[in-house]
Amino acid sequence: MGKNNFSNDTHYFRKKVDSQNGYALTFDDIICVPGFTNFDPVDIDIQTMIGPFSFKIPIFSAAMDTVTETEMAIQMALLGGLGVIHRNCPYEKQLMMVKKVKRARSFIVREVATVHPKDTDVQVKQKMDQFGVSGLVVLDDDDRVIGIVTARDLPYDQNQKYRVEEIMTKNPICSMDGISREEAQQKLYEIRKEKLPLVNDQNQLVGLITRKDLRPEFPDASKDKEGRLLCGLGISPNLPKNPFDLETFKKIDELCDIFFTDVADVYKSNDLTGIKEIMDITQTPIVLGNIGTFEAAERILTKFDFPEDKLIGLKVGMGSGSICITTIQTGIGAPTLFATAEVADAIQMYNPKIALISDGGFINSGDLTKAFAAGADVTMSGHFFAGCTESPGYIDTIGGRKVKVYRGMGSKEARSTGPYAFDRYANVKKLAEGVSDYVPFVGSVKGVLDQLCEGLKNGLVYGGARTIQEAKQIVIRKITHAGKIESSAHDLLSRK
């Protein structure tokens, strides 16, 4: 299969989904046609790129408050994808969640949780709970390392209070900054400890290495240059107006890897101008979205002069999510398949380096194959992951079935948490553009991703595509309602 069949056809993807003939098709309206396969299934490679970042799995979890917080973001990155943390909360909580992700798995932890020798055991426990760690480095007034206190040092007697200096392990063995992974492994083995503080010439703390972070448990994990997990965050199209929030946002910018503008329809002058202002004062690259048409992508890529190192992707789709009612409420929408093909043509025409993220509307793993055939580089979903163990919220039981809450960010329930994401919709204060309901509890996100990846890989095999890039050449055909019924399980006693 050739690799550039679509590069010279400016209507390649739009022709595939018939959008140039006036159709706005959805995933259920099309089917992918089998292609010639001249490779073994084990040769399938589904890794993808967004800007400078590589992902073994081309599937992200959406920035929704019932889908992605710390636990989901950590697991998604460990398994090779990316979790995009939601913004329906104060900036301080966003910063806390990003910090936890960056601390979760790292060869060297730079944001080290510390305590003072005069702190109490109660303060130690509070900090351990706050940062999700089992040990803290003890620093004196000059930031010099004088001890380590772990959960095992905390007293069993809750009635007796202790200071850190009474229960800590004093004068821990440290290493100089710049130690290699192999040297750190050997050092931890020699001292039989779980933690190795890193210090400078004045014995001041500059980092921390833990035994768990050196274990190669997740070889496909999405990591930055320092071995920390990659973390995405949904952001407003406008800078914070409150000075304190602005300072917090700048701290987030120092840690986060990719910003995803979290707007139902970003193709508005005010939003695009606001995003340019964000780019001017931040270092984090941005995926801009959502948009739904060739025209929107064309103008963004040609008229706004976004810095090449800052704009790394376009996120597409409007009104397709299972909890989204924007199209019903407003009459306006861009089904994800249609939007993917529209924007894919614009990217090929104006800047092929830009990644395309298809966002929402996925029901089955086969929909992923269809999205990549329509030009996507990455898929993003809330529906697939809302029922996972790692999603926020508790497991409930309805009619003997385990469930979890899943709600649209435009629902009245999501809006009731505060004004943090009111600019996500055109008039979110009055008009609900989402619903809240339950989804089945499905267990760990690993099981969900395994199933999705198996379906995607099998789809690429049948389509004759070895990679995500080659998947863009899989042939698409429209299918009738009768064809859709025939493609599903039918004529069975349990499926009347």
Q: Which residues are catalytic?
A: 324, 424
Tell the burial category of 56 from Cβ atoms under 10 Å away from its Cβ (0-12, 13-18, 19+). Answer: middle
Evaluated on CA atoms 482, 486, 488, 490, the torsion sign reads positive
Q: Using the 8-state DSSP alphabet, how is residue 175 labeled?
A: E
Closest CA to 69 of 41, 88, 46: 88
Question: E strand or H helix at 281, and its extent?
Answer: helix 269-281
Closest CA to 151 of 165, 161, 136, 139: 136
SS3 state at 279: helix
Q: Using the 8-state DSSP alphabet, how is residue 272 labeled?
A: H
The phi-psi region of residue 112 (left if phi > 0; otherwise alpha if psi is between -120 and 50; otherwise beta) is beta
Closest CA to 465 of 456, 452, 474, 455: 474
The DSSP string of 328-363 is HHHS--B-HHHHHHHHHHHHHHH-TTSEEEEES---
For residue 57 the two structure tokens come to 């799995």
- Tell me how far apart the alpha carbons of residues 315 and 329 are, in angstroms, rounded to a whole number: 22
SS3 state at 151: helix
Question: What are the beta bridge partners of residue 198?
Answer: 175, 207
Which residue's entry shows tokens 């926020």? 392
Secondary structure in 3-state letters for 208-268: EEEHHHHCCCCCCCCECCCCCECCEEEECCCCCCCHHHHHHHHHHHHHCCEEEECCCCCCC
Residue type for 195, please? K
> Going by C-beta distance under 8 Å and a sequence separation of 6 or more, which residues neighbour residue 405?
66, 386, 393, 396, 436, 437, 438
For residue 368 the two structure tokens come to 């992923």
- Tell me how far apart the alpha carbons of residues 373 and 340 are, in angstroms, rounded to a whole number: 10
